[in-house]
A and B are shown apart, each in its own frame.
Chain A
Amino acid sequence: MPKKTLTFALMDAPYESANLTTAFRILDAAARRGHDINVFAYEGAAGLAFARQAPHPNPVHGKNLAEENHPTTKDQVAALLVEAAKNGGKVDWVNCGMCVDERGVNEFVAGTRRGSPADFQAFTDASYNTLVIPTK
Chain B
Amino acid sequence: MAKSSLNIVESAYRAVMEEQDDTILWLLAAMQGAGGAHTVVLRGNAVNYAISGQGAPGLTVGEWKQEQAPRMDHDVADLIDNRKIPVYVVEEDLAERGIAAATLVSGVKLLSRAALPALFADYEIVSHW
Partners in one complex: yes
In the bound assembly, the distance between CA atoms of A71 and B5 in angstroms comes to: 35
B120 within 8 Å of A (CB atoms): no
Q: Is the CB of B30 within 8 A of A118?
A: yes
Q: Which of A43, A118, A134 has the most CB of B within 10 A?
A: A134
- 1/0 contact string of B2-44 vs chain A (CB within 8 Å): 1101000001001100000001100100110111100000000
In the bound assembly, the distance between CA atoms of A135 and B12 in angstroms comes to: 11
In the bound assembly, the distance between CA atoms of A135 and B5 in angstroms comes to: 19
Q: Is the CB of A135 within 8 A of B31?
A: no
Q: Is the CB of B14 within 8 A of A130?
A: no
Q: Which residues of A contact B34 (CB under 8 A)?
A: 117-118, 121-122
Closest to B129 in A: A134
Q: Which listed residue, B1, B3, B27, touches A117 by the CB 8 Å rule?
A: B27
Q: Is the CB of A135 within 8 A of B14?
A: yes
- 1/0 contact string of A37-54 vs chain B (CB within 8 Å): 000001100000000000
Closest to B28 in A: A117
- Interface positions of A (Cβ within 8 A of B): 9, 11, 42-43, 116-118, 120-122, 124-125, 130, 132, 134-136
Q: A125-B3, A132-B128, A134-B11 are in contact. Are A117 and B23 (CB under 8 A)?
A: no
Closest to B32 in A: A121
Q: Which residues of A contact B128 (CB under 8 A)?
A: 132, 134
Least distance between A103 CB and chain B CB atoms (Å): 12
Least distance between B72 CB and chain A CB atoms (Å): 17
Q: Which listed residue, A117, A118, A130, A135, touches B125 by the CB 8 Å rule?
A: A130
In the bound assembly, the distance between CA atoms of A121 and B128 in angstroms comes to: 16
Q: Which residues of A contact B103 (CB under 8 A)?
A: none
Q: Which residues of B contact A42 (CB under 8 A)?
A: 23, 27
In the bound assembly, the distance between CA atoms of A122 and B3 in angstroms comes to: 10
Q: Which listed residue, B3, B15, B23, touches A124 by the CB 8 Å rule?
A: B3
Q: Is the CB of A121 within 8 A of B36?
A: yes
- 1/0 contact string of B112-129 vs chain A (CB within 8 Å): 000000000000010111
Q: What are 23 A-to-B residue pairs whose CB atoms are below 8 Å?
A: A42-B23, A42-B27, A43-B15, A117-B34, A118-B31, A118-B33, A120-B27, A120-B31, A121-B31, A121-B34, A121-B36, A124-B3, A124-B5, A125-B1, A125-B2, A125-B3, A130-B127, A132-B127, A132-B129, A134-B11, A134-B24, A134-B129, A136-B14
